[in-house]
Structure 1
């Protein structure tokens, strides 16, 4: 039997679809008088309520009017169990979002997202329509690789809202720890030693002055790299004369390290 109190008891079953929609049987859709753009609140005994968009279940699995389906990855991320008893409530007002700020859950997720940003931009609305504050959502890249993103904030500031064609998705990079540390050290070195690097005229005069080849007390490239990593110099040693080389730009290490 269906409830007439606006809250409907359901059983949540996991499926293998690659989207974040709640799949509803036709009888339940008719009973709730749902339209395409409405959102649903799903709650259960041991979890916080979540907000989801919906679609119709496949005909072969829609005989049970109280059975709703959700992709396994999303269900597990939300803390649901397969077959969990829950409750559905219709959300009558859903705000259209102008901006959504998200962050990849891991550096691997960020690198995949960065490589496939164009494809995701075209496919995202086919996978997710309703998002909520703090949600961790699976997103499929080219229909086979899944990554996870966390919803950091929404604009306007609402608990949940609907993605539209005009919604801007702002992604915060998730840089690997080693690369981030190296980039920061490189920037510090560039800022603190910019005045110690030779000008082009000084580089030209390097052949006549061994001291000027030491780049502000750094004896060679090996010592320069060690300074970026550890903040220490290699002791200056006397070197035999070498041919002239171009001056090293302070930001060249930064470009290499950030690739």
Structure 2
């Protein structure tokens, strides 16, 4: 199904809002509550987004947060073919880091809130992905995915996941990594 992508301000998550006809098609073919969708442009450019239930205001457009779209380089009014992706692996370990020094400082001051915010605002990740993270409804930082495990393509963050924040000092510089770790894996 070909649809247009529309960027929308005021959305504070990394989920897509879908037109009702697409929602009905997805719900008739799968039982999942959160879908991973592949968006492919006419030129072959690929983006992955997650849908968690929101309906777009248009019957022919997918709506995405403007800030999220900027992070993943998804232009406004892009025509895309939409395909549901099945069997997305659960990401058991994801290492991310804030994009800028200012983002580091904000994350450090809001680390406890950031843990919950990531799980509420992001569902799929892949290596080299950037995404915005809204903290307390007024502050936005950009986060960069450094690595994922397993390393195959797109990974699904599980809501029941534990998050470990690791801080290390190297040559008087604070190096901070945020690690997502599933309950079933062990810390090395």
Matched, 1:137 2:131: yes
Give the whole-Å Cα distance in 2 for the aligned partners of 1:85 and 1:172.
41
Per-residue deviation, residues 13-33 of structure 1 (Å, max 9, x unmatched):
011201000111222111133
* Deviation of 1:9 (Å): 0.7
* Deviation of 1:94 (Å): 1.1
Number of the residue aligned with 2:39: 42
Give the whole-Å Cα distance in 2 for the aligned partners of 1:26 and 1:126.
23
Q: 1:112 aligns with which of 106, 109, 113?
A: 106
Number of the residue aligned with 1:15: 8
Number of the residue aligned with 2:156: 162
Bigger shift: residues 137-146 or 117-126: 117-126
Give the whole-Å Cα distance in 2 for the aligned partners of 1:110 and 1:47.
34
Matched, 1:52 2:62: no
Change (3 A) 1:38 1:97: same
Give the whole-Å Cα distance in 2 for the aligned partners of 1:153 and 1:170.
15
Give the whole-Å Cα distance in 2 for the aligned partners of 1:42 and 1:27.
16
- Superposed CA RMSD: 2.5
Number of the residue aligned with 2:181: none
Change (3 A) 1:109 1:45: farther
Unaligned runs of 5+ in 1: 1-7, 185-259
Matched, 1:73 2:67: yes
Change (3 A) 1:49 1:174: farther
Give the whole-Å Cα distance in 2 for the aligned partners of 1:47 and 1:142.
37
State the TM-score, normalized to the length of structure 1.
Answer: 0.59
SS in 2 for 1:20: coil
* Deviation of 1:174 (Å): 11
Give the whole-Å Cα distance in 2 for the aligned partners of 1:51 and 1:32.
16
Change (3 A) 1:81 1:118: same
- Which has the higher relative contact order, 1 or 2, with Cα contacts under 8 A spaced 6 or more apart? 2
State the TM-score, normalized to the length of structure 2.
Answer: 0.79
| Alignment size in residue pairs | 169
Q: 2:81 aligns with which of 84, 87, 95?
A: 87
Unaligned runs of 5+ in 2: 174-188
SS in 2 for 1:121: helix
Which structure: larger Rg? 1
* Deviation of 1:172 (Å): 7.5
Greater strand proportion: 2
Number of the residue aligned with 2:176: none
* Deviation of 1:109 (Å): 0.5
